[in-house]
């Protein structure tokens, strides 16, 4: 979703800039230290468990570790995961036994008698000075208990290399110890998803695995892969080779996506890629071993330019044979809002029987590759202007008694749903599909706002909440001068306010919640990580933890501990939460007034107008600033005590004048 351009871009951007200061202030005393320090570990688990009781003492990991594990194929996956996580950074020799063992220090046990409180994904974790025990009804619960256990170890447990070898020059030794605790924990919701758009920019299967490794740390259990769009078709479909021969490739462009000129005919179309069916099987298996289901999305009828470029006969529109896979040029006019006005027709034709035969073949193969019970078929942002003037569409409307374009799309969606269900799968789509009077067994992913999910739930549709205002990870995290420019902002504190189960609906219709990472402006996996974390932690806590346990100051103190863990894991994250927030106005005599604040309380802001780089010996911000007459740049940085914690920000005075409106 997500090609908001031109006038809409600037309208929403200006609103988001002015609205960035309406955020909660927090108090945090956590130190931002080296991730490989020797500070005794705190109980800083994300997402927050249901019950945690701190006990006296610590469990210290011995040089030789024995893990007792109930012997099943699924528990073996948990055992293998834990063995690697413990042995690699610590250098400990980790073995396992399947039977009862008095000598084992760690016990992974499936309950003989079902504990109904825990459900399928809950666990009980007990740490004493001599033993660690994780109990669960199912292997998935053991896996989530392992994630919590690892978060009790020092941050260096996340290292992919032996710590001693990596830090051989250091004389300081890490003590691999865990505080004694009793934890009972289980998820609030069953659907805890992250959407990864691999269509706008292609990410290799190894990068997808890397993304999975990061998400399971926070107990996500669904990876939604957005596999097709205007910019690329990313999955091999046998019998339709052009989908990947043509549809997977574009002209490489870098800069502000959506503003590029149309590629010249001689520019090489060699940027992109796709997953073979064997690649997909490997990704699905890798995810399964980490208790993650993979939800495939084939986005139709809109967002289909890559498919149409490959097979123009899938379009209603004359001249489609000249269409090319989008390389970031402008193809939609959003000046009048949604649905957009298409400059090229990126829709599959609802009146073309070839489309349904094509989709039957695609869905048949997708259903065989992905074991998950749902297939996502898109349905968002389909433009109507080409359909409105098409004779085949007019004939379809007459034949089927369709009164408007929403009903035309509804006709399409209903036929696609029948195909999906004929393969033994359940159909889910973006919330626009409900404009076509879909049956109650249609599941909906509500992205345009909470109200659409609420309306769907009241009409007894199953709903996954993924609203833009809380869960869109492609949005800017801080000021536009530091972030990739997108059409809106979403700060960490706002993401943490996400409640996927509104009080006004029957909770049985809310399957869960999800964060979405669209990648128009995300060109590589490091940026994908930067955009996901720490906001992905906020969404994870919203879908796992009891609402009564959510507490913003406490959450952020834990986030800071997890920054150390991400450092140790070499996973990139955004420090945007430490950046100052700019609010501008004008005095009675039209002078520019600059109001600085922070999303995190307890920070000091230092500034300069003389083009030098401020530190804590520069003026400290205490009240609204008026720039000197000829100043061109405001430089600011945040400190916690004597230590810089924010990024140096360079704010042009010209930019602030624009935001305040000209004198």
How many other CB atoms are found less than 10 A from the CB of residue 286?
17
Computed from CA positions of residues 499, 504, 505, 507, in that sequence, does the dihedral angle turn out positive or negative? positive
Residues 80, 52 contacting (CB under 8 angstroms):
no
Nearest-angstrom CA–CA distance, 367 and 294: 11
- What HEC string does 512-566 produce? EEEEEECCCCCCCHHHHHHHHCCHHHHHHHHHHCCHHHCCHHHHHHHHHHHHHHH
Question: In 36-73, which positions are buried (b, 16+ CB within 10 angstroms) versus exposed (e)?
Answer: beeeebebbbbbbbbebeeeeebbebeeebbbbbbeee
360 catalytic? Reply is: no
Residues 211, 220 contacting (CB under 8 angstroms):
no
Q: Name the strand (E) or helix (H) holding 61.
A: none
Strands 51-60 and 93-97: unpaired
The count of residues in the chain is 663
Q: What is the dihedral of CA 379, 384, 390, 395, to 10 degrees?
A: 60
Residues 303, 406, 461, 562: which is the catalytic one? Answer: 303
How many other CB atoms are found less than 10 A from the CB of residue 609?
18
Omega before 324 cis (within 30°)? no
Strands 51-60 and 177-185: antiparallel
Q: Which residue(s) pair with 661 in the sheet? A: none
Residues 48, 229, 520, 655: which is the catalytic one? Answer: 229
Residues 121, 381, 529, 567: which is the catalytic one? Answer: 381
| Residue that has been written with the tokens 């011995």 in this structure | 62
- What HEC string does 166-201 produce? HCCCCCCCCCCEEEEEEEEECCCCCEEEEEEECCCC
Residues 535, 490 contacting (CB under 8 angstroms):
yes
520 catalytic? Reply is: no
Nearest-angstrom CA–CA distance, 603 and 645: 9
Write the CB contacts of 150 (distance below 8 Å, at least 6 apart in sequence).
85, 157, 158, 217
Residues 298, 378 contacting (CB under 8 angstroms):
yes
Nearest-angstrom CA–CA distance, 489 and 483: 10
Q: What six digits make up the tokens of 510?
A: 């809310």
Nearest-angstrom CA–CA distance, 489 and 451: 20
Question: In 415-437, which positions are buried (b, 16+ CB within 10 angstroms) versus exposed (e)?
Answer: ebbebbeeeebebbbbbbbbbbe
303 catalytic? Reply is: yes
CA geometry: angle 20, 26, 29, nearest 5 deg: 135
Active-site residue list:
229, 303, 381
């Amino acid at each position: 979703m997500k090609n908001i351009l031109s006038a809409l871009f600037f309208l929403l951007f200006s609103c988001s800039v002015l609205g960035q200061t309406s955020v909660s202030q927090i108090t945090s005393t956590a130190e931002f230290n080296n991730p490989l320090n020797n500070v005794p570990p705190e109980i800083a688990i994300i997402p927050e468990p249901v019950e945690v009781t701190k006990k006296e003492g610590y469990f210290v990991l011995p040089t030789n570790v024995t893990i007792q594990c109930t012997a099943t194929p699924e528990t073996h996956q948990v055992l293998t995961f834990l063995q690697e996580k413990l042995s690699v950074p610590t250098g400990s020799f980790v073995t396992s036994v399947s039977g009862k063992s008095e000598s084992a220090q760690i016990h992974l046990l499936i309950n003989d008698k079902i504990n109904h409180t825990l459900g399928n994904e809950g666990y009980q974790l007990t740490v004493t000075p001599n033993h660690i025990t994780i109990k669960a009804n199912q292997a998935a619960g053991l896996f989530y208990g392992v994630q919590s256990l690892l978060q009790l170890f020092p941050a260096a447990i996340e290292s992919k290399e032996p710590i001693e070898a990596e830090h051989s020059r250091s004389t300081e030794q890490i003590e691999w110890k865990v505080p004694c605790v009793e934890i009972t924990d289980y998820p609030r919701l069953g659907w805890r998803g992250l959407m990864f758009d691999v269509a706008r920019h292609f990410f290799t299967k190894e990068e997808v695995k890397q993304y999975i490794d990061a998400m399971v740390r926070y107990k996500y259990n669904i990876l939604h892969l957005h596999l097709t769009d205007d910019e690329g078709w990313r999955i091999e479909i046998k019998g339709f080779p052009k989908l990947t021969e043509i549809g997977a490739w574009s002209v490489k462009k870098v800069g502000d996506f959506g503003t590029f000129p149309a590629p010249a005919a001689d520019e090489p179309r060699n940027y992109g890629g796709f997953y073979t069916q064997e690649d997909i099987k490997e990704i699905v298996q890798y995810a399964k071993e980490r208790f993650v289901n993979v939800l495939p999305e084939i986005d139709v009828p809109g967002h289909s330019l890559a498919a149409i470029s490959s097979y123009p006969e899938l379009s209603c529109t004359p001249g489609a044979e000249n269409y090319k896979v989008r390389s970031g040029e402008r193809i939609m006019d959003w000046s009048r809002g949604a649905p957009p006005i298409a400059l090229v027709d990126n829709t599959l034709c609802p009146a073309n029987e070839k489309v349904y035969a094509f989709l039957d073949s695609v869905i048949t193969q997708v259903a065989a590759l992905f074991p998950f019970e749902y297939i996502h078929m898109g349905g968002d942002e389909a433009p109507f202007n080409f359909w409105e003037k098409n004779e085949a569409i007019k004939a379809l409307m007459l034949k089927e008694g369709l009164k408007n374009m929403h009903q035309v799309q509804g006709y399409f969606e209903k036929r696609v749903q029948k195909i999906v269900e004929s393969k033994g799968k359940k159909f889910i789509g973006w919330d626009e599909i409900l404009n076509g009077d879909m049956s109650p067994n249609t599941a909906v992913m509500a992205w345009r706002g909470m109200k659409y999910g609420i309306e769907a739930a009241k009409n007894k549709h199953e709903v996954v909440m993924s609203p833009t205002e809380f869960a869109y990870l492609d949005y800017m995290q801080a000021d536009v001068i530091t972030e990739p420019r997108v059409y809106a902002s979403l700060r960490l504190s706002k993401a943490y306010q996400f409640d996927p189960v509104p009080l006004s609906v029957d909770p049985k219709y809310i399957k869960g919640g999800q964060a979405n990472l669209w990648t128009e402006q995300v060109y590589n996996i490091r940026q994908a990580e930067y955009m996901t974390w720490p906001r992905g932690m906020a969404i994870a806590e919203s879908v796992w933890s009891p609402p009564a346990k959510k507490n913003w100051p406490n959450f952020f103190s834990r986030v800071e501990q997890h920054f150390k863990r991400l450092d140790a894991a070499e996973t990139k994250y955004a420090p945007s939460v430490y950046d100052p927030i700019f609010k501008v106005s004008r005095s009675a005599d039209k002078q520019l007034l600059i109001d600085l604040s922070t999303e995190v309380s307890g920070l000091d802001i230092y500034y300069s107008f003389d083009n030098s780089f401020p530190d804590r010996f520069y003026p400290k911000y205490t009240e609204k600033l008026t720039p000197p007459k000829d100043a061109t740049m405001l430089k600011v940085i945040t400190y916690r005590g004597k230590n810089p914690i924010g990024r140096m920000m360079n704010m042009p005075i010209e930019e602030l004048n624009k935001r305040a409106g000209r004198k």
